[in-house]
Chains A and B, each alone.
Chain A
Amino acid sequence: MPRWGMVFDLKKCCGCQTCFISCKIENFLPAGMYWNHVYDYETGEYPHVKRNFLPTVCMHCDEPGCLEVCPTGATIKREDGIVYVDYDKCIGCRYCMMACPYKARYFNDKIKNYYPGNITVYEAFPKELRAEFQRHEPGIVSKCTFCMHRVDRGLSLNLIPGIDPEATPACVVNCPAQARYFGDLDDPESEVAQLISKRSGYQLQKHLGADPSVYYLK
């Protein structure tokens, strides 16, 4: 069984936010909801200032704190390492948000339209045609799913996630700088495993012991 993971090359990320937008489009995220961030921040002091970008998604940890604390079993970890929320089971207690050190979860108090009074074609897309986790509703917590609908559909068509675009998360496919990689962390021959090995990929907040499936390259 693979363990899906993502690698962000910080040297390549130019902070264009294409991943952010493509995630919103792919997953029908309503206004005010973000599963994909590129934080833009400065380090150093004038005249030695550096502008940095830090892309983040749900880290799909191997030992997810959110899974343990969820009182209803709404947070589920699949055998391939993808962690997702079953919207029908979530009660909106937000304990998972406390337990997530990456602030990767979002509570939808109410679903907002992008343009008050108008519903775009994108927002009007029928819910029954969307994947389950794309049917957003108020009062529950949601998060990045590594586009598991694309991964699953791709695998059913004998495609390889991380190589075939149709089987790869939208943010990875659409990144114009090719700063994102997706693949099987447990396969030493995969591109992600090779990058982590050769370029000393590291995890955020490793000391917390969650063992995230997202790695960063300096």
Chain B
Amino acid sequence: MSLTESFKFRRGKVSITGDDLRQSLVIAKNEMRKFLRGRKILLFILLAALFLVIDIALPAFYWEEFGTFLSTPEAIMSWHASNVSFIVLLGAVLFASFTIVSEFEERTYLLLFTRPVKKTAIFVGKFLACYVITLLVILAFYGVSAVHSLVLEGAVTSKTFTSIGMSMAYIFALSGLAVFFSCISKKGSISALMTFFLVLMVPQIISVILMVVQPGGDYWYLLNIAGGSISSIFSSTVQISKALITLFLWGAVPLVLGWLIFLRREA
């Protein structure tokens, strides 16, 4: 049995083979190269670095105000992690929201889609690249934050790893949503705006309305509440599995819908 056949499985009309996975990696590699050679990655790194600089500089210059507040490794990591969800959103807007629509907008689909490669392999490869590029920047952000914690308090809390796990789930959720908008949009700019405003504002508005209507309720299923556990994990008890499942569903549902639309999409 060949490697290709050994990987093969079928579910109705959809099949994935080892060769499809290999092609997905080729697509992902090229997509990463596109990101790394483009300006967006510079902007993304710059914005992430800006958050770090502010997070480090503020306590340094105003220690009297921040000293009591940042007195434990947990508090320092929570201080930094409170920015992670916004940085992830920037990553989703800059990369995932453009990844599919750009093929149509820039007419490169005429080159890629006419090759013996399944659209599913293209979809998987592109999503993978968007996920990895955002994750790498987030990991670097956590790395610098951990060094800051070491410098100030001489220790890094083990909850950092849980927070990273939550961030990974949040990246999946936002990338899934952004890829969905990328699949339904005619223009990358529209997809990016939809991702930014719908993810940033709509969950906030819904949660405010819900809190007014029913104060004190547990709205764990909202994207912003589940995403908030990235930083709240350091200071309070969080139902990790519930938050992880919520974030997974927030990513998986639009991702599957986007994939189905992409399969049928013509120029």
Pairing of A with B? no
Q: Which residues of A contact B (CB under 8 A)?
A: none
